[in-house]
Amino acid sequence: MKLGFIGLGIMGKAMALNLLQGGHTLYAHSRSGVTDDLLQAGALACNNPAEVASKADVIITMLPDTPDVDLVLFGQSGVAEGLTPNKIVIDMSSISPGATRDFAKRISALGCSYIDAPVSGGQVGATSASLTIMVGGDADVFESVKPLFQLMGKNITLIGDSGAGQMCKVANQVIVALNIEAVGEAMLLASAAGVDPERVRQALMGGFASSRVLEVHGERMVKRNFEPGFRIELHHKDLNLALTAAKEMNISLPNTAACQALFEECIAADGGQWDHSGMVQALEQKAGRKIA
């Protein structure tokens, strides 16, 4: 297939490489340029999103936030300018479910289809093509592009209509944030008691407390490795989406709000670029000690 990919950050670049390895033609664009390794793998650089959309039959976006997707789709030289009927736009960013439904209507008015397909799994999942992909949109369109998703992920689920994939991703981010906070508290508690937190982590991996967060981010906390797989500033954005949706529906998410406050403390300490496991550093600040 002739594919387009817009947004070549930590995850987008790896996802684009997996599509190229699947044998597809790939037209690519990023504000920072298309990297040499992508070009060497066969990617064809385009000057703007409109050029990508004019050349590709399926256009994928992987961008930081709702305004970025809006600009790439509908701004000057945006995707909408390059679309012709029957093309498919897939947004794999994590953005507002409400805005997603609006984008889908606007793309549909141009005679094209729109799928929201946010992902979970971070840089590791993007690189290993093991992402969880949560999809919203028409079932027939989903089936037509599912082989592309299978090149990027393993757990691929059609959740419902437009926006449903984004709402599922918001729910995912709530669970992940609360898990990170819980693992951080547990590791800090063990360390403060003079117990080796790494041995605690290894023991808990064999019990009911086991989780991917404990496995991956628990290790990051113990080893003090906060180089980003998924940045705090992006998870902070996702929890804003959750809290905004909760307010609109008049429901309370108290622990989500508490995790958001911890992320905000990290951002205030210039930690917006830390991996989201770095939330533990806000807990350490409160405790006056680090995990050791």
> Per-residue b/e over 110-126, b at no fewer than 16 CB within 10 Å?
bebbbbbbbbbbbbebb
**169 belongs to the catalytic site:** yes
The single residue of 13, 169, 247, 286 carrying the catalytic annotation is 169
Tokens matching residue 242: 């959750």
Q: How far apart are CA 171 and CA 127, in angstroms?
A: 23
CA distances from 207 to 144, 190, 202, 204 (A): 40, 17, 10, 5
Q: What positions carry a catalytic annotation?
A: 169
